[in-house]
């Protein structure tokens, strides 16, 4: 009887281990790195543009919206420009597959100029960017958001700031990514899947080629 109990125990252990291996094989994940930078031109009297990103999500037909990170982070875009830096937002494991949309939720923008610090208005704090992010097991994919501040920041007739983001979105698969000190991200190699300049108009619409014209007469918000 004792031998039968031991035998049954061993059989149950084998079944459990087999199930665990099977679950691992059917839930492959890959590394995905999200970085923010700014390659804008000189902004004159503006010395700082701080953007607070509350979250990043990705979307696929099979998974729907997946939260990449919900930890709010604030970036000084002009500091990133001066340092020529890609700064880390998230370094995560995502389920293997193709994601066709990336969403940034921005809650606050602060602009500092010669007269002090001012809160800028966003036509919409929800940026849904169409682009292909391919995640594969045992590989690293990257999404880099280059905020082009000199095309994004505008002033109303009363001197108030509006930030309608213009972003160069680049995604890569099979990339070589190194995270250095101070969250500096170094990206090389891989295959570019998306390289698109995506902007927002004054009504909050988002798409390739959209932005607020530099000659537009903006009403105070």
Nearest residue to 149 (alpha-carbon basis) of 75, 72, 58: 75
107: Cβ–Cβ under 8 A, 6 or more apart, which residues? 52, 53, 54, 72, 125
Q: What is the pTM of this model?
A: 0.84
Q: Average pLDDT for residues 109-134, to the nearest whole number?
A: 96
Pairing label, strands 64-69, 166-173: unpaired
| Banded model confidence at residue 159, pLDDT cuts 50, 70, 90 | confident
CA distance 157 to 219: 6
DSSP class of residue 182?
G
**Host H or E run for residue 35:** strand 29-37
The encoded tokens of residue 23 equal 């679950």
**Residues linked to residue 23 through DSSP beta bridges, in sequence order:** none
pLDDT at 9 over 50: no
Q: Is 15 helix (H, G, I), strand (E, B) or coil?
A: helix
* The residue to which tokens 């995270």 are assigned: 179
Q: Is 213 helix (H, G, I), strand (E, B) or coil?
A: coil
CA distance 39 to 185: 15
**Host H or E run for residue 12:** helix 2-25
Write out pLDDT tens, residues 59-102.
999 999 999 999 999 999 999 999 999 999 999 999 999 999 99
pLDDT recorded at residue 213: 83
| Banded model confidence at residue 220, pLDDT cuts 50, 70, 90 | low
| Banded model confidence at residue 27, pLDDT cuts 50, 70, 90 | low
pLDDT recorded at residue 217: 65
Q: Which residue has the higher pLDDT, 124 or 219?
A: 124
pLDDT recorded at residue 99: 98
The encoded tokens of residue 127 equal 């940026």
Write out pLDDT tens, residues 161-217.
999 999 999 999 999 999 999 999 999 999 999 999 999 999 999 999 999 987 666
Q: Average pLDDT for residues 110-122, to the nearest whole number?
A: 95
């Amino acid at each position: 009887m004792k031998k039968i109990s031991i035998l049954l125990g061993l059989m149950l252990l084998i079944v459990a281990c087999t199930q665990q291996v099977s679950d691992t094989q059917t839930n492959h994940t890959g590394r995905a790195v999200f970085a923010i930078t700014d390659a804008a031109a000189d902004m004159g009297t503006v010395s700082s543009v701080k953007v607070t990103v509350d979250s990043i999500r990705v979307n696929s037909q099979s998974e729907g919206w997946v939260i990449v990170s919900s930890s709010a982070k604030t970036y000084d875009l002009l500091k990133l420009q001066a340092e020529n830096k890609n700064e880390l937002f998230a370094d995560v494991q995502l389920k293997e597959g193709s994601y066709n949309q990336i969403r940034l939720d921005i809650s606050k923008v602060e602009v500092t100029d010669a007269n002090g610090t001012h809160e800028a208005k966003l036509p919409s704090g929800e940026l849904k960017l169409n682009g292909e992010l391919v995640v594969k097991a045992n590989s690293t994919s990257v999404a880099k958001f280059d905020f082009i501040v000199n095309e994004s920041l505008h002033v109303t007739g009363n001197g108030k700031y509006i930030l309608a983001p213009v972003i160069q979105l680049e995604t890569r698969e099979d990339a070589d990514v190194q995270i250095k000190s101070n969250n500096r991200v170094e990206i090389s190699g891989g295959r570019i899947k998306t390289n698109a300049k995506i902007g927002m108009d004054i009504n909050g619409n988002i798409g390739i080629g959209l932005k607020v014209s530099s000659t537009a007469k903006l009403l105070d918000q």
